[in-house]
């Protein structure tokens, strides 16, 4: 295992260093039934990929990018379940690079995370990835080196099932959502570290105060402003990086480029939606077309019809739509903070357009997002503000009150006797962690009354007049492969200081962690996450899927990435079936870079390997 210092050095060296290079075409031509609308498609079992600096036109403006085979997004890779694939990655950059195969089950040394089980690809070298394709579905790949993912180093994957596909469709389109900045990503991160509110132009105004005073009353409006002011927090701090610097892309096109996919009326069209953004959670909808969700994170789910999906960074959803009218339809991907949007069109003929819905009003966080409201709607803010270390609803929630800013170093109250009853009436599990994470400069608040929010709509969609997908709607199509009750439970808190732009797990950033999260091969563990912050965090586990604990033991949704809402407490059941060292992190790129990452180490049962022992093995082939 490489040192944490080496990993951080790799991250620090990930900013762009571009030389003179070709300008990539916008390839804004119309799609037909046999292509993926400008996405170069590579299929077979052996591939050659080249990472190199390039330039790309976005809405008529030229930007510097890191491209794979000269493409943004990178080429679409089409594989077949059961095949053995070989991919040769040549690095023509002047910094290290890598490819992580997001959501794929493969050997750890092929996972492509520098500093964990992989050394990275040096400039001028070629690294060969080889692994069996063990699954089917929609996935994607991206760099795990520095900020290269923000600069265009990402691409889609489609794996055809070896048996009959349970989803019937006439044609499919890849919909790759992303965010683009013409600024250097390293500079964006530096700005956030200096002032986390740099890109937030959606703060409440005097007009908002008068409106609140009219809707509620003057006293309540004043108290609300005073509470947020005392905590030095902004209830409209929804996204760290916004449309003030981002252009939101669909398949590499800005809104003005208007990517267009063609259809014939009455066709069943499969949209394979990938959120390949660095920092953006999208609200995805086709204003006049319902969507039937058939797959989440590459795995089939029981079909569920909806009108809008809030898609976390790194999540994927496959949906079926059936346009029956001879007209164009807008594909709308609105950023969670409503500061901008990505837009595309589905139409029966080229050149057709549909109306673009206006951006909706900016969401405002509430007491529920601060985890200050109990089960009965009881406001806990006074008690939380009075005593930051006060234990509250100890046995039921396993959390402590305290939403005020703090700088002391004393630990939170220990919860070694914590009991967690799942919604299916599961028995109590012994906790394996004392829940005494640090409270220092890196932790500005903790959740007073965290609640399960799997049935809650995403931030800003609470009052939408149409159907919105929630995690509780998802049921796996196939029965869970492991229905054992978990043997133990671990609780992990998502922590941070938004004002100083510090992000961590349990109050400790990745560079300060000496030991991995240790699992033993074959064990079944329940991981309970508590979001102590006011931000939504898409959390991704490499190398394994997890069962989301919804109360359905037989068909729980199985995912590799899940958005943990502000003030939320949710549980995941993990079967440690992949020996090796695996990254576990927030998939908001700058949060991960700031420290919200850990290593999960699955040790072989028969070898009895210590949790912090490095796992040796082949690390690909260099030439």
Task: Tell me the per-residue pLDDT of 29-56, one tens digit each, with 9 for 90 and over.
Answer: 334 333 445 688 999 999 999 999 999 9
Nearest residue to 252 via CA among 382, 425, 72, 104: 72
CB under 8 Å to 182, separation ≥6 — which residues? 61, 63, 245, 247
CB 546 within 8 A of CB 506: no
Q: Crossing angle for the helix pair 218-230 and 206-215, nearest 10 degrees? A: 130
Across the chain, how many H-helices and E-strands are there? Answer: 7, 33
Does 292 or 215 have the greater pLDDT score? Answer: 292
Nearest residue to 360 via CA among 328, 331, 335: 335
What are the tokens at 147?
């900020």
What are the tokens at 185?
């990503």
Task: Compute how many other C-beta atoms are within 10 angstroms of the C-beta atom of residue 264.
Answer: 12
Statement: residue 181 has pLDDT above 50: yes
pLDDT at 198: 73
DSSP assignment letter at 508: B
pLDDT at 402: 35
pLDDT band at 443 (very low <50, low <70, confident <90, very high): confident
Statement: residue 436 has pLDDT above 90: no
Average pLDDT over residues 587-614: 80
pLDDT at 498: 81
CB 159 within 8 A of CB 258: no
Does 164 or 412 have the greater pLDDT score? Answer: 164
pLDDT band at 447 (very low <50, low <70, confident <90, very high): confident
Q: What is the largest CA-CA distance in the chain?
A: 70
In this prediction the pTM is 0.82
Statement: residue 333 has pLDDT above 60: yes
Average pLDDT over residues 589-610: 86
pLDDT band at 357 (very low <50, low <70, confident <90, very high): very high
DSSP assignment letter at 36: B
What are the tokens at 415?
């919860």
DSSP line for 553-587 = SSS--EESEEEE-TTBEEEEEEE--S-EEEEEEES
Nearest residue to 423 via CA among 329, 549, 260, 302: 549
Whole-angstrom distance, CA of residue 424 vs CA of residue 422: 5
pLDDT band at 199 (very low <50, low <70, confident <90, very high): confident
Statement: residue 421 has pLDDT above 50: no
Q: Which of 190-194, 312-316, 401-405 has the lowest mean pLDDT?
A: 401-405
Whole-angstrom distance, CA of residue 239 vs CA of residue 336: 7
Distances in Å between the Cα of 502 and the Cα atoms of 180, 195, 527 are: 23, 11, 23
Average pLDDT over residues 277-299: 97
pLDDT band at 27 (very low <50, low <70, confident <90, very high): very low
pLDDT band at 605 (very low <50, low <70, confident <90, very high): confident
In degrees, rounded to 5, the angle at the alpha carbon of residue 26 between the alpha carbons of residues 144 and 273 is: 50
CA 82 to chain centroid: 27
pLDDT at 508: 93
Statement: residue 613 has pLDDT above 70: no
Nearest residue to 536 via CA among 621, 461, 619, 605: 461
R_g over Cα of the chain: 23
CB 566 within 8 A of CB 370: yes
Dihedral over Cα of 476, 477, 480, 481: its sign? negative
CB 601 within 8 A of CB 581: yes
pLDDT at 218: 60
CA 190 to chain centroid: 22
């Amino acid at each position: 295992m490489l040192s944490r210092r080496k990993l951080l050095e790799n991250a620090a060296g990930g900013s762009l260093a571009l030389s003179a290079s070709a300008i990539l075409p916008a390839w804004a031509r119309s799609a037909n039934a046999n292509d993926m609308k400008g996405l170069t498609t590579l299929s077979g079992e052996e591939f050659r990929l080249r990472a190199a600096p390039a330039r790309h036109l976005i809405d008529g403006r030229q930007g510097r990018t890191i491209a794979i085979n000269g493409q943004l997004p990178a080429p679409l890779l089409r594989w077949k379940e059961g095949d053995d694939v070989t991919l040769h990655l040549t690095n023509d950059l002047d910094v290290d690079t890598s490819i992580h195969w997001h959501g794929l089950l493969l050997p750890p040394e092929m996972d492509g995370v520098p500093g964990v089980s992989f050394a990275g690809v040096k400039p001028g070298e070629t690294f060969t990835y080889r692994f069996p394709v063990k699954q089917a579905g929609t996935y994607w790949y991206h760099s795990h080196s520095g900020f290269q993912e923000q600069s265009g180093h990402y691409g889609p994957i489609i794996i055809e099932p070896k048996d009959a596909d349970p989803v019937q469709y006439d044609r499919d389109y890849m919909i790759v959502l992303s965010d683009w900045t013409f600024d250097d990503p390293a500079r964006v991160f530096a700005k956030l570290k200096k002032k986390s509110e740099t890109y937030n132009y959606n703060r409440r105004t005097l007009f908002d105060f008068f409106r609140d005073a009219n809707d509620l009353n003057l006293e309540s409006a004043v108290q609300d402003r005073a509470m947020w002011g005392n905590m030095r927090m902004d209830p409209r701090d929804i996204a760290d990086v916004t449309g003030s610097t981002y252009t939101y892309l669909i398949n590499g096109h800005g809104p003005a480029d208007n990517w267009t996919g063609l259809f014939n009326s009455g066709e069943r069209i499969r949209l394979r939606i990938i959120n390949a953004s660095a920092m953006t959670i999208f609200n995805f909808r086709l204003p006049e077309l319902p969507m039937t969700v058939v797959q989440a994170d590459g795995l089939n789910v029981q079909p569920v019809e909806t009108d809008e999906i809030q898609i976390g960074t790194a999540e994927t959803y496959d949906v079926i739509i059936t346009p029956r009218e001879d007209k164009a339809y807008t594909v709308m991907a609105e950023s969670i903070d409503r500061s901008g949007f990505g837009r595309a069109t589905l139409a029966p003929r080229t050149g057709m357009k549909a109306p673009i819905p206006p951006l909706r009003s900016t969401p405002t966080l509430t007491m529920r997002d601060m985890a200050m409201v109990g089960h009965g709607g009881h406001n806990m803010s006074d008690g939380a503000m009075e005593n930051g270390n006060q234990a509250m609803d100890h046995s039921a929630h396993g959390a402590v009150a305290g939403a005020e800013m703090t700088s002391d170093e004393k630990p939170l109250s220990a919860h070694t006797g914590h009991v967690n009853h799942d919604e299916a009436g599961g028995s109590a599990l012994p906790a394996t962690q004392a829940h005494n994470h640090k409270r220092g400069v890196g932790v500005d608040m903790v959740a007073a009354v965290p609640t399960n929010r799997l049935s809650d709509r995403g931030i800003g969609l609470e009052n939408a007049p149409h159907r919105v997908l929630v995690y509780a709607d998802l049921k796996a199509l196939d029965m869970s492969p492991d229905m054992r009750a978990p043997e133990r439970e671990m609780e992990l808190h998502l922590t941070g200081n938004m004002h100083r732009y510090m992000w961590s797990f349990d109050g400790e950033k990745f560079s300060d962690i000496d030991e991995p999260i240790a699992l033993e091969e074959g064990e079944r563990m329940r991981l309970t996450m508590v979001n102590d912050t006011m931000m939504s965090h898409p959390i991704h586990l490499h190398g394994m899927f997890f069962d989301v604990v919804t109360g359905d033991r037989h068909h729980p949704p199985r995912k590799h990435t899940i958005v943990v809402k502000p003030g939320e407490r949710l549980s995941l059941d993990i079967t440690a079936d992949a020996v090796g060292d695996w990254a576990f992190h927030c998939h908001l790129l700058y949060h991960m870079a700031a420290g919200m990452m850990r290593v999960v180490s699955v040790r072989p049962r028969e070898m009895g390997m210590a949790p912090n022992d490095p796992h040796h093995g082949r690390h690909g082939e260099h030439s």
